[in-house]
């Protein structure tokens, strides 16, 4: 039987005035990962949170902190987010001169490295890197803001990545490499992403709509487990 897709609620859509409570609520409601979007106002046109907030949230849950760095230059901040409690650290290849070196840095700190592909970023950016990664994140919106509409052209990218990841995973004895999608994920687009091979869905608005009493139902719906 196919394992249910993992849900990684993006705390970008949470109530920032009660962020610790929100993290505890999505943990209790069945979140698999806690997705933390870090934006610097330079690499992307928005500013969110830094390692201090990640460190403050760490005691609120034992779930995986899936930290997406939208900052440049990225290498300067890897250590700080690792120390703050990140488990997965993903970055954009455009955000540093030597992506393979960044992957090595993340791994050297005992964390799982991931690469993020913007809508325009070609799959060739993961050539010679995929075997060293634990996650590939496909952005199905342009990074920088929550609440955007899903870019359907990314479905072909997800499908091709699924084929490549399966080949690498098979060659490495079945090692898990997450294929994650972030941007405009709702009940309908979640179905499309799952159908082409995504196994982790980042969902902000679709998770947090309706408040804490709705979080479990929202995540079940995204997994296709209604009823």
What is the spatial distance between Cα 35 and Cα 15, in angstroms, rounded to a whole number?
Answer: 14
pLDDT, position 225: 80
CB atoms within 10 A of CB 226: 9
pLDDT computed for residue 226 by the predictor? 63
Q: What was the pLDDT predicted at 2?
A: 62
The answer to whether 174 is annotated as binding is: no
CATH topology of domain 6-223: TIM Barrel (3.20.20)
Catalytic residues, by residue number, are 37, 182
Identify the pLDDT of residue 227.
46
184 is in an annotated binding site: yes
Known binder of ligand: residue 10?
yes
Q: Is the C-alpha dihedral spanning 177, 198, 34, 184 positive or negative?
A: positive
What are the domain boundaries of the chain? Answer: 6-223
**Is 147 known to sit in a ligand binding site?**
yes
- The answer to the question of whether 96 is labelled as a binding residue is no
Residue 183 in marked binding region: yes
| 37 assigned to a ligand binding site | yes
Task: Provide the residue-wise pLDDT of the chain in tens; the chain has 227 residues.
Answer: 467 899 999 999 999 999 999 999 999 999 999 999 999 999 999 999 999 999 999 999 999 999 999 999 999 999 999 999 999 999 999 999 999 999 999 999 999 999 999 999 999 999 999 999 999 999 999 987 777 899 999 999 999 999 999 999 999 999 999 999 999 999 999 999 999 999 999 999 999 999 999 999 999 999 988 64
Rounded alpha-carbon distances, angstroms, from residue 48 to 12, 39, 144, 145, 185: 8, 5, 9, 10, 20
Q: What are phi and psi of 36, to 5 degrees?
A: -120, 110
């Amino acid at each position: 039987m196919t394992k249910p897709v993992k849900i990684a609620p993006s705390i970008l859509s949470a109530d920032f005035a009660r962020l610790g409570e929100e993290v505890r609520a999505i943990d209790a409601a069945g979140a698999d990962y806690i997705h933390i979007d870090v934006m610097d106002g330079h690499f992307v046109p928005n500013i969110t949170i830094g390692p201090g907030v990640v460190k403050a949230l760490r005691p609120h849950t034992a779930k995986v902190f899936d930290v997406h760095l939208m900052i440049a230059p990225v290498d300067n901040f890897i250590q700080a987010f690792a120390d703050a409690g990140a488990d997965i650290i993903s970055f954009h290849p455009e955000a540093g001169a030597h992506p393979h070196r960044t992957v090595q840095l993340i791994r050297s700190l005992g964390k799982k490295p991931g690469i993020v592909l913007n809508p325009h970023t070609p799959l060739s950016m993961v050539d010679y890197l995929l075997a060293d990664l634990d996650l590939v994140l496909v952005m199905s919106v342009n990074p920088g803001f929550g609440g955007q509409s899903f870019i359907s052209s990314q479905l072909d990218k997800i499908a091709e990545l699924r084929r490549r990841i399966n080949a690498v995973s098979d060659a490495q004895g079945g090692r898990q490499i997450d294929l994650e999608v972030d941007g405009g994920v709702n009940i309908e687009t979640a179905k499309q992403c799952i159908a082409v091979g995504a196994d982790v869905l980042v969902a902000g608005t679709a998770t947090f709509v309706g408040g804490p009493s709705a979080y479990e139902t929202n995540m079940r719906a995204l997994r296709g487990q209604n009823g």
